Structures are given as C-alpha cells and as structure tokens.
Amino acid sequence: MADRNSLIWRIRVVGLVSSVIAVVTLGLTILAGNRNLGRNETITQPQQIFLLLAAAVLFVVQTALYLIFRHRHKRSCREATASCKRTNVKE
C-alpha cells in the first residue's frame, strides 16, 4: 500500500508541476504577443486566452487534488500512529 501511495504522490506532484509550467508558458506567450505556431500557421488571441484559461483550470484542479491527497495521507499517518501507540499501551 505504501508503494501505491508513493506512486500516486509522485503523479500528483508531476501533474502540479506540469500545470504550473503550462500556465507560465502560455502566459508568457500571450504577453510576448507570439502567435506563430510554426509551418506558417498562426493562432488567434482568443484561442490563446482560451488555452491559458484551460491550463489555469487544470492547475486549480491539480492543486485541489494534491491538497486532498496530502490531507488524507497526513490524517491516515496520524491515525496509524495513534492506533499503534494505543496498541503498544495495551500490551
């Protein structure tokens, strides 16, 4: 179970970091006014803003999931420690 929680923890952290990078990158692209997609293709400003908002929403969701998982993990560790202490006292 500890390995599974460790894997989930790493996935949450990677998702959170990726979301931050996406928001920052899209924000800088909009501020710089770069609309070039390569191969002579461009993107409109409303499309850029939509992508920035989508990345921001994903960032908020990733942050919420990270905090929920962290809270549950800390609570389960406290309960496990408390039950271990109670078990040791009874013995």
Q: How many domains does the chain have?
A: 1
**Looking at residue 83, what is its pLDDT?**
52
Q: Is residue 78 part of a domain?
A: no
- Residue 78 in contact with residue 32, Cβ under 8 Å? no
**Looking at residue 90, what is its pLDDT?**
40
Return the higher-pLDDT residue of 76 and 87. 76
- C-alpha distance across the termini of the chain, in Å: 26
Return the higher-pLDDT residue of 88 and 3. 3
Domain that holds residue 36: 2-66
Q: Is residue 17 part of a domain?
A: yes
Q: Is residue 16 part of a domain?
A: yes
Return the axis-axis angle of helices 2-32 and 45-90, rounded to nearest 10°.
Answer: 160
Secondary structure class of 39 (helix, strand, coil): coil
| pLDDT, tens digit, 9 for 90 and up, residues 49-72 | 999 999 999 999 999 988 888 888
